Amino acid sequence: MEKVSNIDKLESIKSLQSTISKLENALSQMIQKGANTTLVKKRLRAVRIGLAILENVWDKKPHHYTQIDIVKARDVLEGLFPSIENSYARSKVGSPQRTLLERRIKALELAVQAIENLSNT
C-alpha cells in the first residue's frame, strides 16, 4: 500500500465516519417512509468494512469481517465512484462540497487499495 501521510489518514477516517453517519441517517429516513433500504444497507456495510480495514492496516485495530464480506465490500465501494465523481465534476472549484468529495474519493480509494492488498497476501 502506498505511503499515506498522517493528515491523509486522519482525513480519510473522518470522511468514512461522516459517510457512515450520512448513510445511517438516510437509512433511518427510508425506514420511516417505508422505502426499499437494500441498497443503503449494502453501502453502509461496505463503508463500515472499508473503515475497519483502514483502521486495521494503519492502527492495527482488529476487525471481525470474513474474506467474503471484505471482497463484497470492495465491489460495492468501487461501485460508488461513478456517482461521487459525477457530483465532483458538477461541484464548484474551491467549494466546501468539492473538498468533501475529494476527501471521500481519496478515502474510498485507500479503502479499496487496502482491501486489495489484504486479498493479495
Q: Which three cell numbers stand for residue 65?
A: 469481517
Is residue 99 a part of any domain in this protein? Answer: yes
Is 107 a member of any domain?
yes
State residue 121's pLDDT score. Answer: 61
The CATH number that applies at residue 105 is 1.20.120
Write out pLDDT tens, residues 1-45: 668 999 999 999 999 999 999 999 999 999 999 999 999 999 999
Q: Is the confidence at residue 73, as pLDDT, over 70?
A: yes
Number of domains in the chain: 1
Domain that holds residue 46: 6-119
Is a pLDDT exceeding 90 seen at residue 120?
no
Contacts for 103 with CB less than 8 Å, ≥ 6 apart: 11, 12, 14, 15
- pTM beyond 0.85: the answer is yes
Tell me whether residue 1 is in a domain: no
Cα–Cα distance, 15 to 115 (Å, whole number):
17
